[in-house]
């Protein structure tokens, strides 16, 4: 069973985070919403309060198959300012393990040097923050062990791409059909 960690901070984009959590749980992955805010209660960028499964400081992440950063503001800024998370992302990427970010959050990967020499996408207006990347216009871009996506409207294809990576195309198609995603 794959272990997936989705990081939340006050101001994160609710749909981007929850879509990944929901679809991975449907796929059978052990998926945890992790708060970096010091409290399990996290308030999204649109005022929706959610309860994370665990606090960042309570997990060692050695078993992580995938780390996911949802976007949203100011959530992305909070993710970028968390030293422990930044160290974890760099170590995960350097070990060749999967890292993913959507919307504004690929900028966090850019600031950490994780996008150097890779194709990547982000929410329009954040392209200059994808340091070292070749910016693509696809909805979802995977280059090696790093996957990026453009925003809320691409959250389902983003999650399905990640499911395909961990569980195969057949499982991704099964999930796609079960949620009546028609594209």
Catalytic residue flag (residue 103): yes
Catalytic residue among 69, 80, 103, 122: 103
Full 3-state SS string of the chain: CCEEEEEECCCCCHHHHHHHHHHHHHHCCEEEEEECCCCCEEECCCCCEEECCEEHHHCCCCCCCEEEECCCCCHHHHHHCCHHHHHHHHHHHHCCCEEEEECCCHHHHHHCCCCCCCEECCCCCCHHHCCCCEECCCCEEEECCEEEECCHHHHHHHHHHHHHHHHCHHHHHHHHHHCCCCC
Which residues lie across from 66 on neighbouring strands? 4, 98
Q: In degrees, to the nearest 5, what angle opens at C-alpha 109 toward C-alphas 74 and 66? A: 100
Catalytic residue annotation:
103
């Amino acid at each position: 069973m794959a272990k997936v960690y989705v990081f939340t901070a006050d101001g994160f984009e609710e749909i981007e985070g929850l879509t990944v959590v929901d679809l991975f749980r449907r796929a059978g992955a052990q998926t945890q919403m992790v708060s970096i805010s010091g409290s399990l209660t996290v308030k999204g960028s649109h005022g929706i309060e959610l309860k994370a499964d665990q606090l960042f400081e309570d997990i060692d992440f050695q078993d992580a198959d995938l780390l996911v950063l949802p976007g949203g503001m100011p959530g992305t800024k909070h993710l970028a300012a968390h030293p422990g998370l930044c160290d974890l992302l760099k170590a995960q990427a350097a070990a060749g393990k999967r890292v993913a970010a959507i919307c504004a959050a690929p900028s966090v990967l850019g600031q950490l040097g994780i996008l150097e020499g890779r194709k990547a996408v982000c929410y329009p207006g954040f392209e200059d923050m994808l340091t070292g990347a070749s910016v693509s216009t696809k909805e979802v871009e995977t280059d090696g062990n790093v996957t990026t996506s453009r925003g809320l409207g691409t959250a389902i294809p983003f999650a399905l791409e990640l499911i395909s990576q961990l569980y195969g195309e057949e499982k991704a198609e099964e999930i796609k059909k079960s949620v009546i995603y028609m594209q």
